Structure 1
Amino acid sequence: MPTQPSPPRSATVPAASSTPSTGTATKADAGTVLVDGNRRIAHAEYGDPGGTPVLFFHGTPGSRLLATLLEPAATEHGIRLIAFDRPGYGRSDPQPDRTVRDAGANAIAVLDAVGIETAGLVGFSGGSAHALATAATHPDRVDRVDVIAGIAPPRFSDSRSRAPRLLAGLARRASSVLGSVLQADAWVVERRSPAAATSRYTSDAVDEPVPDDVATIVKADLLEAVDRSRSGAVTEFRTTAAEWDLPLERLAEEGIDVWFRHGDTDTNASIADVRRFSQALATAEIRVLEGADHLRTLTRAGPTALCEQAASP
């Protein structure tokens, strides 16, 4: 679908470029949209500037830099890929009182700033909640949604993993402690090889090395996510563990297709939870990637999703 310019509804100002502390060539140039008069959201573009617009939602924690992994596919398939730092990540100002439902307003502000009327959405991991929130609250601005290694609302969750519950509990009852944990974790990651970052998103069940360039981008993304603030991750660990309060029925009412893509060895996000969730959405389908963990689901399914986004009517 071609880009459709729309009247600007938010002011955009350029932000100075920077290089990730890892010293990589990862694209970091960002523009900034001003929201609510004084809050900034940073965004960057990848791929084909004149291509089909797709808005990318990074994980939790994460940043716009993760979209670098999809830049070759975006260029190949004619995709104008826009990625942005959600509030409290990277160069975007915190919005600690936001809920999952508020995600749509921030995403639409970015689309307005870059002159896009409607776009496809791709949400990775924790970013899937915010992609679905955008589609449910602003269906007139969304063409389709691809959920890659996504998470499910609590009512569909039967996960026995302790880690998500622990993080959510810390976010609710001891947010400053969780912030300190995230800061300490980034300190360790910064001083170790990129494998220290990718180990958080991979499974020992997958006997496949992570390419060096992929690991370098994942490390840069993680460090950028918490460099200025830990508010984004703390907020999202708390809010996604509560009911999302979204009008998800609007997806079917508006005919918005949702594609779930999930690896069968993903230990970060439960495939059983996502199966239950996808079955509850009338216009959703799930595709299972054999032998794919959390990170490999993104690197394998991401290019396929962009190819299909480009082919969508």
Structure 2
Amino acid sequence: MGVRRFGKLGGRPVVWCHGGLSSALDATFFDAAGRQRGAEVIAIDRPGIGRSDYRHLSHIGRWPHLVETVADSLGLDQFAVAGWSAGGPYALACAAMMPERVRAVATLAGMAPLEHISQAFELGLWADRVLIPAAQVSPVVAATLIRASRAAPDRYLAREVLRTAGRRDGAALSGKPLGWVVGAVREATVNGVRGTADDYRRIGRDWGFELGSVRQPTTVWQGDQDALVPAKHARRLANSLPSGTLRMVASAGHYLPALLADAVLHDLAPR
């Protein structure tokens, strides 16, 4: 498993679940805030993505078994979990399947379950609208499309990020942070595309756990200008989670890690 550690080494642990078509490198946004807040953010590449070897996961509910292995190897007892975008479901799965170890949860622009595959077309990113349905029909086809997308130049990826950002996160991404997003996207397929294709397959089918089983305090962060994962996802999540709290972020789009690293770590701190 590819594991990257940000913030204060040995600080209070927060396990990070990276976004879709991304990698553990998107937790770079939490490095400075983690040092200031005394938190260590432990970001794990999902199977076949970034530095993690490929292995088959039948559904998202199998992910916590791998997280538990990493937590055991690092000597973690209890920890918080957070996930961005398509990583939100993986963070929620950890809470559902490890209730004794996960004490709090945050999702940032997190996806809600797709009740029907046609709901993929509600999403604003063309890759999501195409790859989620394609991965259900044929992971080989999805992998071929992802492989072709790797030819897009960095300047195109950067332009697409800024085009789909809100006013506040777009301003926060200018300069070096924008390079972090592009770098995380590139890292996702550094060892092939099979893992990313599997990620799209899992997000478009039954997740393997019920949202009602997530009993821990869960903050659902959502930008009110998010054009990629619409606010209806955040509302469905908050309404389905027994201890869910919806926090709308004014003038913000999809790239909430660029804005909320400090606020999220403060919210996840032990009370």
TM-score normalised according to structure 2 size: 0.90
Q: Could you tell me which residue of structure 2 aligns to residue 18 of structure 1?
A: none
Question: Mapping of 1:1-313 within 5 angstroms?
Answer: 41-155=1-115, 160-161=122-123, 163=126, 164-189=128-153, 192-193=154-155, 196-197=157-158, 199-200=160-161, 202-203=163-164, 206=167, 208-209=170-171, 210-252=173-215, 256-295=216-255, 297-310=256-269, 312-313=270-271
For 1:231, the aligned partner's letter is: R
Gaps of 5+ in 1: 1-40
For 1:196, the aligned partner's letter is: L
CA–CA distance in 2 between the matches of 1:264 and 1:227?
A: 33
Aligned residues: 265
Q: Tell me which protein shows more helix as a share of its residues.
A: 2
| Contact 1:60-1:127 within 8 A present in 2 as well | yes
CA–CA distance in 2 between the matches of 1:298 and 1:223?
A: 18
For 1:269, the aligned partner's letter is: V
- Computed over aligned residues only, the root mean square deviation of the Cα atoms, in angstroms, reads 2.1
**Sequence identity of aligned pairs in percent?**
25
CA–CA distance in 1 between the matches of 2:197 and 2:209?
A: 21
Query: Helix, strand or coil: the match of 2:4?
Result: strand
| Contact 2:25-2:184 within 8 A present in 1 as well | yes
Following superposition, which runs of at least 4 residues in structure 1 exceed 4 angstroms of deviation?
A: 156-159
Q: Could you give the per-residue CA deviations for residues 124-180 of structure 1, whole angstroms, max 9, x where no partner exists?
A: 111111110111011111010010110001139696347434211211223223222
Change (3 A) 1:205 1:131: closer
- Greater RCO (Cα-Cα under 8 Å, separation 6 or more): 2
CA–CA distance in 1 between the matches of 2:144 and 2:208?
A: 29
Gaps of 5+ in 2: none
Query: Helix, strand or coil: the match of 1:229?
Result: coil
Per the TM alignment, residue 88 of structure 1 is displaced from its structure 2 partner at its CA by 1.1
CA–CA distance in 1 between the matches of 2:23 and 2:35?
A: 20
| Higher gyration radius (CA) | 1
